[in-house]
Structures are given as C-alpha cells and as structure tokens.
Structure 1
Amino acid sequence: MAVITKFVVVRDGVEKMTFASKKEADAYDRMLDVADNLIPFLQQGELELQDSSLEKLAFYLASNKDTLANLLKGAAPVKAAPAKRSKKSEAQQSE
C-alpha cells in the first residue's frame, strides 16, 4: 500500500486545487489572494463587468502578475517565440 501526501487549497469550504508539493499549493494560494485583492480594485474602475468576467479578469491578472508587473514598469511585452517547424512540415508546405 502506498502513502500519498496531497496538499489541497480550500477557499470558502470549496476545494480549489490539489498539489503534490506544499510549495506549489502555497504559490497557488498566494495567487488566489492576489486575485481576491484585485476584485475590489477592478470594481472601482468605470468598467461594467459581470461578476464572472470580473473574477476571470482578476484571476488572469494574478496568474500573470510577473508579466503584468514588468508591463506596469514600462518594459516591452515579451513576445512568444515562434514554433519551430520541422523539416517534414516544411516539405509538406512546399508541395
């Protein structure tokens, strides 16, 4: 019989996510804290968002906080590297 340790992030009595490490669970919990703190900030704006859209936006911003912080500092956005094309796909396209 195997013993498996799981770390569960619970918010308002609801299990949000399960992780294999405490570090990952703590990071996710902190991200949820940031999202919760962003909601009142976003509500102060003149945007008229439904609650579900507001929560999704706050979650997106919180999950991308490092990129957002760099953008707010004036850094240029980092573009995703183009996918490398294999020789087989290049040959198929040239036909």
Structure 2
Amino acid sequence: MAVVAMWKCDRDDSMFDNKKDADAYDKMLELAESFTQFLEKHAEGISEKDAETIGLLLAHNKEQVITACKGKPEVLLSLGEGEGESNITELSAAS
C-alpha cells in the first residue's frame, strides 16, 4: 500500500496534494478574512454572511481586482465567464 501525503486546510477542511497549492489557498483565505473584516467595519448594515461572501469573491479574484484598480475596470465585468473564476453564487454555496 502506498502512502500519499496530503495537506489539509484547518479553516475549511479542504485537502491538497501539494504544499504549494495548500499555501496559496491559505493565503487566499487570509486575504478573504481581511476583506470580510474591512467590510464589516466600514459597510454599514452588511450582514456577516454577505461580508464573508464578498470577501471570498474579492480574494479569489484578486488579480482581476488589482487590474481593475490599476485602470482597467472592465475586467471585473468578465468575472465568472472564464474557467477558474468564481461568482458569488458558487462561493455562497461553498461556505
């Protein structure tokens, strides 16, 4: 019997077969948590669940958000149309 090394994320029990992917996912979750805290602090009336969903969406699509902040806001309109990009519905179902 072979032994297979796996990395488990303690935040949501996601499993990874390599450390690089596990570390990248953990960093994304840390960024999402910071976005969530920012939204809860500064967006009056937003629910904790909504803040978490938006935080995850922003963190998961950080490259497109960065590009939009650098003067190309149209990239945000294409989110969810390509592979590897998540929309709010998918992220809400995952949490």
Instruction: State the TM-score, normalizing by the size of structure 1.
Output: 0.72
Tell me the number of residue pairs that the alignment of Structure 1 and Structure 2 aligns: 78
Tell me: higher relative CO, structure 1 or 2? Use CA pairs within 8 A at least 6 residues apart. 2
Counterpart in the other structure of 1:29: 26
Matches of residues 1-95 of structure 1 in structure 2 within 5 Å? 1-11=1-11, 15-78=12-75, 79=78, 80=81
Higher helix share: 2
Name stretches of at least 5 consecutive residues in structure 2 with no aligned partner: 83-95
Indicate the RMSD between aligned Cα atoms, in angstroms: 1.7
Higher strand share: 1
Equivalent residue of 1:49, what SS?
A: coil
Offset at residue 5 of structure 1 (A): 0.8
Which protein has the larger Cα radius of gyration, Structure 1 or Structure 2? Answer: 1
> Deviation string for 1:54-75 (max 9, x for gaps)?
1011001000000001101111
Name stretches of at least 5 consecutive residues in structure 1 with no aligned partner: 82-95
Q: Which runs of 4+ in 1 moved over 6 A?
A: none
Provide closer, same or farther for how the CA distance between residues 38 and 76 of structure 1 changes in structure 2, counting only shifts above 3 A: closer
Instruction: State the TM-score, normalizing by the size of structure 2.
Output: 0.72
